[in-house]
Structure 1
């Protein structure tokens, strides 16, 4: 399965993600990982720079906004893209910090 570079944020400023998670790499950067609801492909964001757990959306280093739709989760294509992304960027270790992103938020939709 091919991996490709996404359109610039200026051309695609917002992306809704389903079956999403948030991973933190060994360098401390956090990334949205999920299914791009526009084309059902797996997607890994650039590093997250701002996150609003109540609105369930975050801005990344490129300026793109990711909207987290539905419950967090996974899919085979997301796992594949994350694995390939880790190989490409030589990420040796990461942690799933999805639940931590919602610490202190009293919202049943963040489960």
Structure 2
């Protein structure tokens, strides 16, 4: 089983998401959905393996680290990516589990509403 080095400094495998959500598909895997900075492109992650609620960082099956910034939400770019991903992957059931992740945050979910200027 592969392992990934968990750094504190950002790398090419780090993705900052704003206007994010967490979706559970087919009653099993959970995925981050949102706008990836700096280009604000819609993004759907691979399956979430672990999540550090205090730091708001999740590691996915691909080895990427997703940093959740600001409040959850949605927009047309992430909705487009999500709907295409669902179709391509034959998703039959979806459950929004964003509130489950918000409940795990140790700080106010509105903290960090300003996305970092660079990584």
Q: Same fold (TM over 0.5)?
A: yes
Q: TM-score, normalised by structure 2?
A: 0.78
> Could you tell me whether the CA contact under 8 Å between 1:20 and 1:35 is conserved in 2?
yes
Q: Name the CA distance, whole Å, in 2 between partners of 1:32 and 1:92.
A: 18
Give the superposed CA RMSD. Answer: 1.7
Deviation at 1:54, TM superposition (A): 1.1
Q: Which residue does 1:17 correspond to in 2?
A: 17
Q: Which residue does 1:87 correspond to in 2?
A: 87
Instruction: Give secondary structure in 2 for the equivalent of 1:67.
Output: strand
Q: How does 1:22-37 map to 2 (within 5 A)?
A: 22-37=22-37
For structure 2, the 5+ residue unaligned runs are 1-10, 112-119
Deviation at 1:62, TM superposition (A): 0.9
1:75-109: CA deviation from partner (whole Å, max 9, x where unpaired) = 01111110010000000111110111233544212
Q: Name the CA distance, whole Å, in 2 between partners of 1:110 and 1:49.
A: 24
Q: Which residue does 2:102 correspond to in 1?
A: 102
Aligned in 2, Cα 1:36/1:105: closer, same or farther, shift over 3 Å? closer
Q: TM-score, normalised by structure 1?
A: 0.84
> Could you tell me whether the CA contact under 8 Å between 2:27 and 2:93 is conserved in 1?
no
1:3-46: CA deviation from partner (whole Å, max 9, x where unpaired) = xxxxxxxx831010000000000141000000001211100000
Q: Name the CA distance, whole Å, in 2 between partners of 1:16 and 1:40.
A: 10
The number of residues matched between the two structures is 101
